[in-house]
Amino acid sequence: MDVDTRLAEDWVRAIAAAVEREHERLTELDSAIGDGDHGSNLRRGFAAVLAALDSPDPAPDSPDSPDSPAGPAPDGGPGALLTRTGSTLISKVGGASGPLYGKAFRAIGAALPPPGRPGADAAGLGEALAAGLRAVRDLGRAAPGDKTVVDAWTPALDAYREAVAAGAGLPEATAAAAGGAERGALDTVPLQARKGRASYLGPRSVGHQDPGAASTALLFRALAEATAARAAARGGS
């Protein structure tokens, strides 16, 4: 089982559904240590992504533009779909989450094989997810332990790579990544924030889950669910 356009779209739609379901919780987490808009911002951004995916007309802007919105790319492959998803998030989402997740999806999309080549296998998707993490770290200048998205994405990627190294296919590896992200998000509770709005609170940020780590856990759980559903539909991994 490889990463194709259908799986990429299923992943994005699963994220949008998770954000719609959990946006109030994300905003509640952000209200404790941030600006209180994380859930609403992501909800608006992924609603825009879905609208673009469902549009019968191609996006008017060039897909090569870093700020061009997502649009249907039937021949562009999964990389183009995820790249355009990232561009939509950058253009539609305020706060820190739009640029961070937007750059991450653009990096993941750019790391996937171009049209005309075989789709990414489990190892290839791992490299793309690693590119997404690098984009987040480069933009946010955050490291593990800073109480950010990085604290969920890093253990997710570690768990994914360990599963692939042990011979797991995409469904098993993405499930491992989702578990790693969820554990990482919970592990931000005792941390003191060193980046972003939460860092202004100093010791008062301790005892609260980072909202960005929580939404990252949703992202990886959505990937696992989309991959499992696709594998089940195809009757294998």
Q: What is the CATH number of the domain that holds 105?
A: 1.25.40.340
Q: Which of 231, 225, 4, 230 is nearest to 121 (CA)?
A: 4
Answer yes or no: is pLDDT of 4 > 70: yes
Tell whether pTM > 0.75: yes
pLDDT of 13-63, one tens digit each? 999 999 999 999 999 999 999 889 999 999 999 999 999 898 865 443 333
Kindly give, in sequence order, each residue whose CB lies less than 8 Å from that of residue 166, ignoring residues fewer than 6 positions away: none
- Total count of domains within the chain: 1
- The alpha carbon dihedral of 209, 91, 218, 216 has a sign of negative
pLDDT of 43-52, one tens digit each? 999 999 999 8
In this prediction, what percent of the chain has a pLDDT beyond 70? Answer: 91
Which domain range does residue 100 map to? Answer: 5-234
At 49 the three-state DSSP class reads helix
Write out the H or E segment, with its range, that includes residue 97: helix 97-111
Count of positions (residues) in the chain: 237
